[in-house]
Amino acid sequence: MSRLVRVGEVARELGVTPARLRQLADSGVVPSERSPGGHRVFDPGAVRSALARRSSSDFTQPRWTEPTWERLLPLAGLQEDAVWRDVVVDVLQDRLSPEGRSTAGYAFTEMLNNAIDHSGAADVRVAVWASRLEIRFEVSDDGRGALHHLQQRLGLEDAYDALGELTKGKTTTDPEHHSGEGIFFTSKAVDVFTLESAGLRWTVDNVRQDQAVGASDIDVGTRVRWEMDPATTTPIADVFGAYTDEDHQFSRTRTVVRLFGIGVRFVSRSEAKRLMRGLDRFKEVTLDFTGVEEVGQGFVDEVLRVWPRKHEGTLVTPVGMTGPVEFMVRRGLPSAAQPSGTGDA
Ligand SMILES: Nc1ncnc2c1ncn2[C@@H]1O[C@H](COP(=O)(O)OP(=O)(O)OP(=O)(O)O)[C@@H](O)[C@H]1O
Ligand SMILES: [Mg+2]
């Protein structure tokens, strides 16, 4: 948890009156706590996470208007690090902790580089919202669109399929010049990350450790937004460390099963194949079953027996299972590879 702040400060940040904020807190829309003295206090990270889940409501929409800093930049010859230096000088300056500066710089340059190298658009819109409690960024273009681009270049079925591939990491359309790391690591390094393209919105909420796919009104091009704590003390090296090995290779991933189906039941072998496709590019794959309510025998057999047998260089570890799912998974696992429990491995 980060620092706790009082009603007035959060209300100012959200552009509502303190009375309205108390109302929102009472109704549970905005999470809050009581200080030892009985005052209502807020954890800015938890507030960000709650608002991200309501990203299209009347109440949260105004957060994304009137940026502190905004530019429409021609992409020809644009250099992401030069734009980042301008953002730092113009708006961020001493707002960031050293760790916040590394994380923000990494995310910004990676997302702007994607627009430069992959979008095929004429220009890019960059916007920053900066306050004492949070910084928010947006990079958007009206180019070919990340999901359509991946779908076409990798020969995938549809944009939804492309999104599944993107969530795995090491997914790139240009392996000669790129390694498919930018979106994966950026999405894990900030508090809340969203990528919108082809009518889909992918949200990675690192405050609640949750991911979701929903609808978006962005059909053309790509819009990426992310939010973070400017005073964060988490070094970005910790984020890389969680997914790299001793040789600093990106050799581990964590794949959220729920993102690969419609609903909470995973029954068929073909769903399993879609989930596992290409994961042999990692040495260790953690499969997160959180939120999955039912799995079928064919699905489990493909994921935990057939696939690992064919790909002996990859260790597959299921986590986050409950009730009937855990039962089916335990039943389907070869006896040497029993999961370590329902929590994180
Ligand atoms: N703005 C965009 N427009 C079109 N395609 C995009 C855009 N952003 C990302 N993509 C697609 O998504 C893929 C994954 O992006 P990501 O940043 O994760 O990896 P990368 O850019 O290929 O490699 P790296 O970031 O490691 O240099 C890209 O290869 C590209 O096909
Ligand atoms: Mg990239």
Say if residues 149 and 198 touch (Cβ distance below 8 Å).
no
Report which of 138, 139, 140, 158 is spatially closest to residue 148, judged by C-alpha positions.
Answer: 158
Q: How far apart are CA 220 and CA 146, in angstroms?
A: 10
Question: Whole-angstrom Cα distance, residue 308 to residue 333?
Answer: 10
Q: Which of 91, 79, 112, 10 is nearest to 51 (CA)?
A: 10
Atom 7, ligand 1: residue with shortest CA distance: 146
Using pLDDT thresholds of 50, 70 and 90, give the confidence band for residue 192.
Answer: very high
Same domain, 218 and 112: yes
Task: State the closest ligand 1 atom to the C-alpha of 119, by its place in the atom list counted from 1.
Answer: 3
Question: What's the confidence (pLDDT) of residue 338?
Answer: 58
pLDDT score recorded for residue 302: 95
Question: Residue of the nearest CA to atom 17 in ligand 1?
Answer: 182
Last residue of a domain, one of 235, 264, 296: 235
Residue 343 falls inside a structural domain: no
pLDDT for the residue 131: 86
In the chain, the amino acid numbered 172 is: T
CATH of the domain at 147: 3.30.565.10
Residue type, 191: D
pLDDT in tens, 245-290: 999 999 999 999 999 987 788 888 999 999 999 999 999 999 999 9
Helix/strand/coil for 177: coil
Asked if 215 and 259 sit in the same domain, the reply is: no
First-to-final CA distance of the chain: 22
Q: How many residues are present in the chain?
A: 345
With respect to residue 345, please indicate whether it lies within any of the assigned structural domains.
Answer: no
In whole angstroms, give the CA distance from residue 91 to residue 113.
20
**Dihedral sign computed on CA atoms, order 171, 177, 183, 185:** positive
Considering the domain architecture, whether residues 9 and 144 belong to the same structural domain is answered as no
pLDDT at 344: 47
The residue segments making up the domain with residue 19 are 5-42
Domain count, the chain: 3
Distance from C-alpha of 140 to C-alpha of 105, rounded to nearest angstrom: 17
Could you report the per-residue pLDDT of 9-40, keeping only the tens digit for each? 888 888 788 998 899 899 888 999 999 888 89
Pairing of strands 284-288, 315-319: parallel
Whether pLDDT at 196 is above 70: yes
Model pLDDT, residue 308: 96
Do residues 202 and 290 both lie within one domain?
no
Q: Worst-scoring range by mean pLDDT, 97-106, 314-323, 329-338?
A: 329-338
The ligand 1 atom at the shortest distance from the C-alpha of residue 110 is 25
Report the pLDDT averaged over residues 99-121.
98
- Give the amino acid at 223: R
Residues with CB under 5 A from ligand 2 (ion): 114, 182
Q: Confidence band (pLDDT; 50, 70, 90) for 345? A: very low
Asked, for residue 282, whether it belongs to a domain, the answer is yes
pLDDT of res. 152: 98
The pLDDT mean for the chain works out to: 91
80 touches 108 (CB < 8 A): yes
> Can you tell me whether residue 263 is helix, strand or coil?
coil
Whether 170 lines ligand 1, by a CB cut-off of 6 Å, is no
